[in-house]
Structure 1
Amino acid sequence: MMPAVNSDPSDKDSEPFIETDPTGRYGRYNELLGSGAVKKVYRAFDQEEGIEVAWNQVKLRTFCDDPAMIERLFSEVRLLKTLANKNIISLHYVWRDEDRNTLNFITEVCTSGNLREYRKKHRHVSVKALKKWSKQILKGLNYLHTHEPCVIHRDLNCSNVFVNGNTGQVKIGDLGVAAIVGKSHSAHSMLGTPEFMAPELYDEDYTELVDIYSFGMCVLEMVTLEIPYSECDNVAKIYKKVSSGQRPDALNKIKDPEVKEFIERCLAQPRARPSAAELLKDPFFDGIEDDDENDL
């Protein structure tokens, strides 16, 4: 057990923990890193390793009448614990707080936040840098899709891909609606972010290739700094365009034919859409090495 340090109220520099986990290892600060429909993410500290982490907190009272949803959250977190890949956010610890009725899990934190914000902040980025990010996202997807059982993310977009800006490392996070689909490689519920959802997701009959479509939309956003289908002012209009195979306006703004063609491959009909492993071999990535590949 860690030796306790009495916090002196007069010590203005020390930041108090709002709460600690049952083992006393992790302490949560009041600073919010992000929040979603069901989850809040706070900055936290791992006292054993001396590193900052993310404290994800889900208020379970939102689901008190929905045991299936609570079970899904627990299975998601159990799944996250089994994943180990440098392009997937890793999960360190999970517990349920009966008193506060919350599900809490500690994950690694990325220093520069999500890719959407990071890209907005750094507008002058070479195609080479964009390819490096894209390649890392694909490596993460390839890991999920070849995992036993197969894992479909189902909600991949630039706001849940995270960046360590000092190393250029990119990691997929927020596997909140990930489905373990196992042997059949198909799933049947409609979830996700409309602008990034493959047409077959709306039909509720799809495979892990929906993630490749969403990945294509991520690349489109990275290149154009525009959220796909931003010309549509409601979900119904987006759905109409997506289901009729109409491409987002942003695609026509891409000058580089190689980049445009690569995105088109990702958005192809499911039967013609390549897997993550196939895309990693695409000439698009020729000469693009991960910075750590040399260490292997």
Structure 2
Amino acid sequence: MPSEGFDPSDQEDREPFVEVDPTGRFGRYSDLLGSGSVKKVYRGFDQEEGRDVAWNQVRLKDFRNDPAAINRLFSEVELLQNLNNENIIVLYSVWRDMEHDRMNFITEACASGNLRDYRKKHRRVSVKALKKWSRQILRGLDYLHTHEPCIIHRDLNCSNIFINGNIGKVKIGDLGLATVVGKNHAAHSLLGTPEYMAPELYEEDYTELVDIYSFGMCLLEMSTLEIPYSECDSIAKIFKKVTSGVKPQAIDKVGDPEVKAFIERCIGLPRARPSAADLLKDPFLLEVEDSDSAC
């Protein structure tokens, strides 16, 4: 018999969850929001707070022969638990499902998805809007780079920058390839997305300024709707151009000379490349009213 006060019609009218977390707070729907090499992201719901969330899930058995992938995932979750910045994706909960050999973690959901898809949907975007997005990305990077210890994202690109389009709020996510480095800010491993990787990343000896290079490439994509080095048909060709200092052809498609100059400053040689804090003080961005900080 149904328990006292239970109304079967309530269950029938409610959208069914595929699964619920151990506390009963979070539910997962079948809708897939995104999929990567390590994880799948589903639409979820926080029943306690009454808000949408992103339910990130990894089937660990798929990676038994790739411990590095599992380590990257655990690294992301560990980092997210300790970060607190309005331009970094928030982590709400994490647990391991031993029965199904899965790891799940709940993060905030950005209603408009990633910046790459959002920009494709909105092909007419002003330079002012690009500046506002840029300021927020740089604030997130400045937070990571001045964190103790310093955190390098290493895989910043438009597919892992997320946006709530109704308020124009931009947040950095997917820290699975990030690394915490020591006081000398030097790191020695090769990871990332080739089109966005700074030349020194290929040499496996770099600092947090590789994220500034990647940010410059993100701004290039935001400006042109073209992924950098799309003229190359192989990673080897991208590698050759990047390490030879050949800029992507898309740079010549940037119509605004100030935007182009700002991008070129970001993707310059490491010694000449500014920090996130320096870029936030650049006249190019200071021209924008700082209203986005109130979003």
Distance 1:4 1:146, change over 3 A: farther
Partners of 2:9 and 2:240 in 1: CA distance:
58
CA deviation string 1:48-107 (max 9, x = no partner): 100000000011112324445434432331111100100000101111110111111000
The aligned residue for residue 276 of structure 1 is: 276
Q: How does 1:20-99 map to 2 (within 5 A)?
A: 20-67=20-67, 69-99=69-99
Partners of 2:81 and 2:294 in 1: CA distance:
28
CA drift at 1:9: 7.3
Q: Does residue 159 of structure 1 match 2:159?
A: yes
Partners of 1:65 and 1:134 in 2: CA distance:
39
The aligned residue for residue 219 of structure 1 is: 219
Bigger mean CA offset, 47-56 vs 6-15: 6-15
Q: How does 1:142-157 map to 2 (within 5 A)?
A: 142-157=142-157
CA drift at 1:292: 4.9
Partner AA of 1:207 in structure 2 = T
CA drift at 1:254: 1.4
Partner AA of 2:247 in structure 1 = R
Identity score, percent: 70
Partner AA of 1:273 in structure 2 = R
Q: Secondary structure of 1:56's match?
A: strand
Bigger mean CA offset, 61-70 vs 30-39: 61-70
CA deviation string 1:235-254 (max 9, x = no partner): 11111100100000000111
Unpaired segments ≥5 residues, structure 2: none
The aligned residue for residue 266 of structure 1 is: 266
RMSD (Å) for aligned C-alpha atoms: 2.0
Partner AA of 2:140 in structure 1 = G
Partners of 1:207 and 1:28 in 2: CA distance:
38
The aligned residue for residue 202 of structure 1 is: 202
The aligned residue for residue 130 of structure 2 is: 130
The answer to whether the 8 A contact 2:75-2:178 is kept is no
Partners of 1:119 and 1:72 in 2: CA distance:
28
The answer to whether the 8 A contact 2:132-2:292 is kept is no
Partners of 1:6 and 1:35 in 2: CA distance:
37
Partners of 2:71 and 2:263 in 1: CA distance:
36
CA drift at 1:180: 0.7
TM-score normalised by L of structure 1:
0.94
Residues matched between the structures, number: 293
Partner AA of 1:29 in structure 2 = Y
